[in-house]
Amino acid sequence: MNTLTAGTPAPNFSLLDQDGNTVTLQDFKGKKVLFYFYPKAMTPGCTVQAQGLRDTKAELDAHNVVVLGVSIDPVKRLGKFIERDSLNFTLLSDEDHAVADQFGVWARRSSWAKCTTACTVLAF
């Protein structure tokens, strides 16, 4: 597992968003990106975390910060999560956890693979 450290360039990524559109790191050149990983959409802890980001989005916008949530959920589930909780930021699907691996947040626990919750602010 790789661990992203301060000053290290962020790994490039290409993931589908909740609408099935491809999103890449280069789409945000010149912006600050709050890139957060969460284990599973619509679970209690992940819902509270997403609602917190939703509720502080105006403040983040004032600082030119784009929020991107990443999970191993399929695209269809992400759209349902956004709709159910009125989320106002983009969610990305990393079903094969390749991007989570690149950012060093994928870990195995017992016999089940779990994505640990992690938050990274990227600026480039």
pLDDT of res. 17:
98
CA torsion angle 68 73 74 77 (round to 10): -90
pLDDT of res. 106:
77
pLDDT of res. 6:
73
Close Cβ partners of 101 (under 8 Å, ≥ 6 residues apart): 1, 2
Catalytic residue status for 46: yes
Angstrom CA distances, 68 to 3, 62, 108, 109, stand at: 19, 16, 23, 25
Model pTM?
0.85
Pull the structure tokens for residue 104: 């060093």
CATH superfamily of 28-123: Glutaredoxin (3.40.30.10)
pLDDT of res. 2:
61
Q: Which of 25, 46, 92, 100 is catalytic?
A: 46
* Domain limits, the chain: 28-123
User: How many whole angstroms separate alpha carbon 64 and alpha carbon 67?
Assistant: 10
pLDDT of res. 112:
39
- Point out the residues of the chain with pLDDT beneath 50: 110-116, 122-124
